[in-house]
Amino acid sequence: MKIVLGISASIAAYKAAELASHLIKHGHVVNVAMTRAATEFITPLTFQTLTRNPVLVSLEDEKQSWKPGHIELADQADLLLVAPATANLLGEFAHGLAPDPLTSIYLALPRTTPVLVAPAMNGKMWLHPATQRNVAVLARDGCKFIGPAEGSLACGYEGIGRMVETDAILREAEKCLAGRK
């Protein structure tokens, strides 16, 4: 199955490398789209090496073909898996903003393509009414959420906001894909 792995700017971005590796080992084709800010936490080269596919970071990366890369990936995707998803990214998805390949892929997905989102952020940000409104909008639009989990956060706080462990994300991704086989 073809999975687009979306990565936004969270310290949990390093866990996406493990996620990509496991998805490949399970026989999936993985294409990665990262926000530009995510590249401050982990490089596109890591994902290019793991997936053996080019990584989209900016809309300017899409010059290899006459068909825009974000449209092609959206058309081919059996699943859009976003891990980690920041509050900013959730807001962009919920409000239909498309400043980069990841948000553009989200908007261009056929409505039948499942979207699985693994949030990761400070607990206060997660619990903020604006974030919760965006989550509610996305859930109504059909997005599935896994997490966030409770525990130690990178900011030094304890509480909700951690990205769930990769094995739980993998299990949920397989459930999303089961109906598409």
Q: Which of 155, 167, 171, 175 is catalytic?
A: 155
Q: Is 143 a catalytic residue?
A: no
* Cα-to-chain-centroid distance, residue 109: 13
Distance CA 38, CA 85 (A): 10
Check: CB of residue 160 under 8 Å from CB of residue 150.
yes
Active-site residues: which are they? 155
